[in-house]
Amino acid sequence: MKFTGLYCIIVGLLMLAQWIFFIAAGQVPELQTEPIRIGFHLAAEAATALALIFSGAALLRKRAWGRSAAMISLGMLLYTVIVSPGYFAQQGVWALVGMFALLLALDLVCLRLLITDTQER
């Protein structure tokens, strides 16, 4: 579970850092054009990031609830990595679309590890 725990923490921290950077750099024009929609989106992204960080820490600390929490947070991330690339594909930023594809693959690997470990217990 070490890989999954570290993956959750790293991705959660990177999500928060990415949004802080984009907002600080003025790279989120939707704050002016669609403030309500982007507000809800940012709330969902922050919830996903925090869930990943806390569940990853729980996995590394071998807390009983860590597996269940990680499955939920990885499910939240699964939605994000499926829906978010559309924005970048629309803009033709294919490197970021590829990054989301890699995150999707790693998310599925982590979910498989959690499911397999649960079945073996």
As for how many domains the chain has, the answer is 1
Give the pLDDT confidence score for residue 55 in this predicted structure: 98
Band the pLDDT of 96: cuts 50, 70, 90: very high
Cα–Cα distances in angstroms (integers) from residue 87 to residues 33, 47, 90, 93, in the given order: 15, 20, 5, 9
**pLDDT surpasses 60 at 120:** no
Q: Which domain holds residue 91?
A: 2-120
Q: How far apart are CA 114 and CA 121, in angstroms?
A: 11
Write down the pTM of the prediction: 0.91
Give the pair of three-digit tokens for residue 75. Answer: 């499910």
Cβ neighbours around 50 below 10 Å, total: 15
